[in-house]
Homo-oligomer: A and B are copies of this chain.
Amino acid sequence: MKIKVVSNILKANDSIAEKNRQLFKENKLFVINLISSPGAGKTSLLERTIKTLNSKISIGVIEGDIATTRDAERIEKTGARVIQINTNGACHLDSNMVRTALQNFPLNGLDILFIENVGNLVCPANFNLGEDIKAVVLSVTEGDDKPKKYPGIFREAKILIINKTDLLPYTDCSIDKIKKESLEINPDLNIFEVSCRSGEGFDEWCNYIVSLSN
């Protein structure tokens, strides 16, 4: 019974996701669903990416949060177009929340749309929002055992961004181990190492984002 209910919810979600995907396609938008634990640095990654690419491409952001509009306010300061979804307790975005937000969010002129999901390494992996790809952000302070412990999102994602490399000397984390074990789960994963604080690794990451907008 429980399984049937969940399967119906996922089916309904997929059908609305398909409509979102169509809308993104009509607007020639590349859409990235950004997923991580709380505090891994999704918003910081967006802030620095937008600032770095400001003159080259136009980036929009849909911000998902359980409560508060703090992340959207941070993005607004970069000058990017942003809208907030508050899930009111729900642990992930779904395609219908995105669809509703899109009614008040013009897509014209945008090259890339990031959808920042709720901070949660588990549930968002199961919900298609109509995006082109999922990207997972993992900070080195979370430890190098996370890919094997939370395999779902590493299987679903096309990109892994390893963040907070500036803190690496103060942790026991091995980036080699993160890479090895995440590639064992998903050999096609495209991996970037960045520090949103120092800017390390942003040249490569931003070049990649520009290439997706073409």
Contacts and interface: CB of A to CB of B under 8 A. Distances in A.
Given A119-B121, A167-B167, A149 B5 contact: no
B166 A66 contact: no
Contacts of A39: 37, 139, 141-143, 146
Interface in A1-17: 2, 5, 9
A61 to B, nearest CB: 16
Interface string A69-89: 011000000000000000001
Given A68-B149, A91-B120, 12 more contacts: A2-B9, A37-B39, A39-B142, A65-B149, A70-B148, A120-B121, A120-B122, A120-B123, A122-B123, A139-B141, A141-B167, A166-B170
Interface of A: 2, 5, 9, 37-39, 65-68, 70-71, 89, 91, 118-123, 139, 141-143, 145-146, 148-152, 164, 166-167, 170-171
